[in-house]
Amino acid sequence: MKKILLSILIIVIAATPVVTYAKAGDVCHQTQRDARRDVNETLWFSLGCLFGVFGLGAAYLLHMFT
Protein backbone atom coordinates (compact mmCIF):
# COMPACT_ATOMS: atom_id res chain seq x y z
CA MET A 1 0.00 0.00 0.00
CA LYS A 2 2.86 2.39 0.81
CA LYS A 3 4.48 1.79 -2.55
CA ILE A 4 1.24 2.50 -4.40
CA LEU A 5 0.64 5.78 -2.55
CA LEU A 6 4.26 6.81 -3.06
CA SER A 7 4.01 6.01 -6.78
CA ILE A 8 0.82 8.06 -7.13
CA LEU A 9 2.39 10.96 -5.24
CA ILE A 10 5.47 10.92 -7.49
CA ILE A 11 3.31 10.89 -10.63
CA VAL A 12 1.20 13.81 -9.38
CA ILE A 13 4.26 15.84 -8.43
CA ALA A 14 5.94 15.11 -11.78
CA ALA A 15 2.82 16.09 -13.77
CA THR A 16 2.13 19.37 -11.94
CA PRO A 17 4.75 21.55 -13.74
CA VAL A 18 3.54 20.33 -17.14
CA VAL A 19 -0.02 21.48 -16.41
CA THR A 20 1.18 24.80 -14.96
CA TYR A 21 3.46 25.60 -17.92
CA ALA A 22 0.75 24.64 -20.41
CA LYS A 23 -1.66 27.16 -18.87
CA ALA A 24 1.01 29.88 -18.72
CA GLY A 25 1.88 29.33 -22.38
CA ASP A 26 -1.76 29.61 -23.40
CA VAL A 27 -2.23 32.84 -21.44
CA CYS A 28 0.95 34.29 -22.95
CA HIS A 29 -0.16 33.39 -26.48
CA GLN A 30 -3.62 34.87 -25.90
CA THR A 31 -2.12 38.10 -24.52
CA GLN A 32 0.16 38.52 -27.53
CA ARG A 33 -2.78 37.94 -29.89
CA ASP A 34 -4.89 40.54 -28.04
CA ALA A 35 -2.05 43.08 -28.16
CA ARG A 36 -1.64 42.63 -31.92
CA ARG A 37 -5.38 43.07 -32.42
CA ASP A 38 -5.66 46.20 -30.24
CA VAL A 39 -2.64 48.15 -31.55
CA ASN A 40 -2.78 49.92 -34.90
CA GLU A 41 0.81 49.33 -36.03
CA THR A 42 0.36 51.21 -39.30
CA LEU A 43 -0.71 54.38 -37.49
CA TRP A 44 2.25 54.30 -35.11
CA PHE A 45 4.77 53.50 -37.82
CA SER A 46 3.46 56.05 -40.33
CA LEU A 47 3.21 58.95 -37.92
CA GLY A 48 6.58 58.10 -36.39
CA CYS A 49 8.33 58.06 -39.76
CA LEU A 50 6.60 61.10 -41.20
CA PHE A 51 6.65 63.42 -38.20
CA GLY A 52 9.31 62.04 -35.85
CA VAL A 53 8.72 62.61 -32.14
CA PHE A 54 5.68 64.78 -32.84
CA GLY A 55 4.14 61.95 -34.87
CA LEU A 56 4.60 59.53 -31.99
CA GLY A 57 2.91 62.00 -29.67
CA ALA A 58 0.04 62.46 -32.11
CA ALA A 59 -0.37 58.68 -32.50
CA TYR A 60 -0.41 58.30 -28.73
CA LEU A 61 -3.12 60.97 -28.39
CA LEU A 62 -5.17 59.46 -31.24
CA HIS A 63 -4.95 56.05 -29.63
CA MET A 64 -6.05 57.45 -26.25
CA PHE A 65 -9.17 59.14 -27.65
CA THR A 66 -10.32 56.48 -30.11
- Note the pLDDT tens digit of each residue in 19-58: 555 566 677 788 888 888 877 788 778 777 888 888 778 8
Specify the higher pLDDT residue, 12 or 10. 10
> What does the pLDDT read at residue 23?
61
Question: What is the pLDDT at residue 39?
Answer: 76
- How far is 46 from 61, CA to CA, in rounded Å? 15
Query: Rounded to whole angstroms, what are the CA distances from 58 to 13, 19, 36, 52, 66?
Result: 52, 44, 20, 10, 12
Q: The whole model's pTM is what?
A: 0.36
Confidence of residue 16 (pLDDT cuts 50, 70, 90): low
Evaluate whether 59 touches 48 at the Cβ level (below 8 Å): yes
Q: State residue 18's pLDDT score.
A: 54
Question: CA angle, corner 20, sides to 18 and 15, nearest 5?
Answer: 35
The residue ranges of every structural domain in the chain are 2-65
